[in-house]
Amino acid sequence: ELIMEVLSGMSNENEVTLPIEENEKTEATAPVAAAAEVKQPKASSKMTMADVMASTKFEIREGMRVKVTVIRSDETGVYVSGLGKKDGFIAADKVTDGEYKPEDYTAGMKFTAIVIPNTNVSKDYIALDKRKFDEIEEMDKALLDGVFELKIDKAVEKGGLLGKKGSFTVFIPASHIELHRVEDADLQSYVGKKLMVKKLPDKKGEEAADGKRHRIVASHKEVLIAEKKAAREKAEQEWQEKKAREEEEKKAIFDANRDRFEVNNVVPGTVKRFTDFGAFVNVYGFDCLAPKTELSWIKGQAPADILEIGKEYEFVIIKVDAENYKVSLSYKLLQKRPYEIAQEKYPVGSIVTGKVQTIVNFGAFISIEPGVDGLVHVSNISDKRLNSPADVLKVGDEVTAKVISFVDNRMALSIKDAQEPAEGAAEAKEGEKRVRNNARPQQERKGKKSAGDEISKEEQEIVQNFGTTESVQNNILGDLLKGFTPSDEK
């Protein structure tokens, strides 16, 4: 209701400053400053149209819109009727914003013009301006159909903003000024500013009334939303175009280096950027991918821990997808495996320290350093007979062990061999063993093994699967278990 009152007030104000009504002779909507004086004829006489025109006196005001009819035209301008007792004249420079041609304005042609001050025209004529009317009509059409610039003239408390454009009073509700809500205290700061606005759709039943009153409700927020959407669409289009260009360039570079892009070829590449799934490497100007799993033999390492952006390395091509223009690289295949390094660093006979990582029925895996593990068989944990490695070890224990063998990149360890035996303990144990062996029958000694040396069928399957499963991906535990055979008890 407040908005409607504000618009109504501004509408009345508009009628004074910029009259938009047409003369009563041609339209029944022309407000007259002073009431028209009409001479009342006698009841018995018959009135003709000429009598009505002659008996009616109009008050013609500047700014009024009037419909007129062309009487004649010449090089000076167009003479028109339809203004009561006086005719009107439209100077040549007031007829159109284009080239004026008298022959285009023939007698009987009708159009609308605006009353202007009579400065150069004979007082016998009313001065009119058709060009100005056409400009306002175009402006009004733009207001209704598109986006236009509006200077804010007034702030309405608890309402919004007001301005004038063309023949319209424009109201912007507070909720349509910005993308966010504008508080009443901030409305005054918009006075004097220019905003790009767009007319809001008319509410049902209000279109005709508002059209007559020449008022519209507009929104700056809708313009901002449209601009934001347009910017997003433009950015998307530019990205798509850039992507298309890059794809074309990518194909051209690939085709130029097709002979070089073959599996097992070693190529130089410069690291461009890292992702969660690997590193992009530029090879001969072509972007290739080195998957994370192909960067290091050690699991869990981030690409940034292995490579450096901008630095050149050697890679080996492991896959080429010529149809989709993709090349996959490996860095780790050109690097020593952890056990190759470990074999040099920890030769047989070395004493190492590590933590118990995993315990199984037949032994324990000891982590020496990242990517390097060793297996301690249950028979090499202690001099005492054990039912399970868990009898003396638990995950996380730090232990000292001796490297006793390196076979096919598998490190075997012994905890008991790393311990210094008590004086005479070894000799006593050996003597005890000889006595025990001599005491047993020959047949009994042949076919039996100690409980610690036995590996069940199920355990053998675990060993075999662990060592050959593809998902292990060169894990040291799998390498150790693969083909492992428990040693006989000493």
Q: Which pLDDT value is given to residue 465?
A: 43
Residue 236 falls within a domain, yes or no? no
Q: How many domains does the chain have?
A: 3
**341, 339, 342, 316: which is closest to 327 by C-alpha?**
316
Instruction: Express each pLDDT in 313-366 by its tens digit.
Output: 999 999 999 999 999 999 999 988 877 888 888 888 889 999 999 999 889 999
Instruction: Indicate the residue type of 447.
Output: G
Q: Within this chain, do residues 36 and 124 fall inside the same structural domain, yes or no?
A: yes
Instruction: Express each pLDDT in 392-439 by its tens digit.
Output: 898 999 999 999 888 777 789 998 888 865 444 455 455 555 545 554
Residue 300 falls within a domain, yes or no? yes
- Strand ranges (E), 276-336: 278-283, 286-291, 312-321, 326-330
Residue 341 falls within a domain, yes or no? no
Q: Within this chain, do residues 315 and 360 fall inside the same structural domain, yes or no?
A: no
Residue 301's CATH number = 2.40.50.140
Q: Which pLDDT value is given to residue 55?
A: 53
Distance between CA atoms of 41 and 53, rounded to whole angstroms? 13
Domain boundary among 106, 121, 136: 136
Q: Within this chain, do residues 350 and 281 fall inside the same structural domain, yes or no?
A: no
Q: Within this chain, do residues 315 and 372 fall inside the same structural domain, yes or no?
A: no
Q: Within this chain, do residues 25 and 115 fall inside the same structural domain, yes or no?
A: yes
Q: Which of 46-60, 244-258, 350-364, 393-407 has the lowest mean pLDDT?
A: 46-60
Q: Within this chain, do residues 314 and 403 fall inside the same structural domain, yes or no?
A: no
Q: Within this chain, do residues 361 and 417 fall inside the same structural domain, yes or no?
A: yes
Q: Within this chain, do residues 328 and 350 fall inside the same structural domain, yes or no?
A: no
70 contact partners, CB below 8 Å, separation of at least 6: 78, 79, 80, 105, 106, 107, 108, 109, 110, 111
Which whole-number Å values give the CA distances from 321 to 203, 253, 261, 292, in the listed order? 60, 14, 10, 18
Domain boundary among 136, 161, 177: 136
Q: Which pLDDT value is given to residue 450?
A: 43
Residue 247 falls within a domain, yes or no? no
Residue 165 falls within a domain, yes or no? no
In the numeric block, the tokens 């009004």 are attached to 140
Distance between CA atoms of 178 and 192, rounded to whole angstroms? 16
Residue 252 falls within a domain, yes or no? no
Domain boundary among 72, 107, 136: 136
Q: Within this chain, do residues 387 and 307 fall inside the same structural domain, yes or no?
A: no
Residue 381 falls within a domain, yes or no? yes
> In the predicted model, what is the mean pLDDT of residues 224-243?
94
Residue 302 falls within a domain, yes or no? yes
Q: Within this chain, do residues 375 and 414 fall inside the same structural domain, yes or no?
A: yes
Q: Which pLDDT value is given to residue 275?
A: 92
Q: Which domain covers residue 358, as residue numbers?
A: 346-429+448-481
